[in-house]
Amino acid sequence: MASVVTMLRCSSGSLLLSRSHPSCIPRSHSQLRSLYRHLHLHIQPSPSPPPSPSSSSSGYRSQTTLVRAMAHTEKEVVAGRTKVGWIGTGVMGQAMCGHILDAGFSVTVFNRTASKAEGLCKKGAVMADSPSAVAENSDVVFTIVGYPADVREVILGEKGILKGLRPGGVVVDMTTSEPSLAREIFAVAQEKGCDAVDAPVSGGDKGAKGGTLAIMAGGQQATMSTLAPLFKCMGSVTYMGPAGSGQSCKLANQVTIASTMVGLVEGMLYAHKAGLDVTTYLQAIAGGAAGSKSLELYAGRIQSRDFAPGFYVNHFVKDLGIALEECKQMGLALPGLALAQQLYVSLKAHDDGSLGTQSLIKALERLNNITLPQVSK
């Protein structure tokens, strides 16, 4: 890992490194970032960081740690050299992590239910016994878990990632979570000389299996570029802005999907009640303005009564609840979001929380005391 001891300005205006007195170092983090990004640094590789000068202050140590972190995370991510950690091997995580393994990266995994990671271990992943143990063996650690409380535990907890991640490491949370929590994780990571990215995804289980997910990322843009080879394994990434921006984008995505799903199932019920063949109806609208990814992914499953989860109702209710809370804080009224959230809550009340989001049809069928005819796949 590259180490930086002291930076001195030469008469030419360039920067050199030496073991000079810490008073020669720019004092603020913003100065260091500016120097790193805009001037030439000669970074001397060494097997381990040299000891700090005996007279160095805690500020000196934190600043040199920051420079080391930036030097590390600017490095190229390469299969066979970059060590990847993965926490959360559910419906989405198992497929996403599998693509990274297929690309030739070494991966250390952790899941609370160890049996759910067995398939990845058979492909070459190594099982760890805690998130911190994963981090100790990784340069970049991805998480995709259930709820914000889970995110907090696996990243900030006593056995969390940031307890084991070395300076210069990166944690990437792909869970749909709270923007404020993403900002908190980023701040804690920076204090430890690490980096953090919030990068939730959209595309469901099909997108995860096909490596075609839409990834919405918040954090430092330079880090996004560095991690591009890993993101490419899972889909396409769009940089949204500073920490928390990826989560805000995903919540807006969920607002859009929620209302789209309501429209999809209501249209299908209307067509059925009006005496139309629902399959023919769906074919007729697919190429027009009513066509959507939700129609493409879920209409056939709804007709065949396939409610297996690509994305759980329980998790969607969580996402919509976070979005509603964000709306409250922003003073924003979104009645369509509120209606969709209540319909999905009604599914949970009927013990359908473990079904996929396409099971919304059941809530509307109950309201109208009708059932769509089942169509074989």
User: Could you list the active site residues?
Assistant: 250
Residue of 260, 259, 252 whose CA lies nearest to 338:
259
DSSP assignments along 135-189, one per residue: HHT-SEEEE--SSHHHHHHHHHSTTSHHHHPPTT-EEEE-S---HHHHHHHHHHH
For residues 269 and 303, the answer to whether their CB atoms sit within 8 Å is: no
CB neighbour list of residue 132: distance below 8 Å, 6 or more residues apart: 159, 160, 161, 163, 164
Contact between 45 and 17 (Cβ < 8 Å): no
How many residues in total does the chain contain? Answer: 377
Rounded Cα distance, 87 and 127, in Å? 10
Sign, CA dihedral 27-28-30-32, equals positive
Contacts of 364 (CB under 8 A, 6+ apart): 265, 266, 269, 343
- The DSSP bridge pattern shows strands 201-202 and 213-218 to be antiparallel
CA distance 99 to 209: 8
The answer to whether 100 and 138 have CB atoms below 8 angstroms apart is no
3-state secondary structure 233-300: HHEEEEEEECCCHHHHHHHHHHHHHHHHHHHHHHHHHHHHHCCCCHHHHHHHHHCCCCCCHHHHHHHH
What count of Cα atoms within 13 Å lies in the side-chain half-sphere of residue 35? 25
| CB of 163 closer than 8 Å to CB of 135 | yes
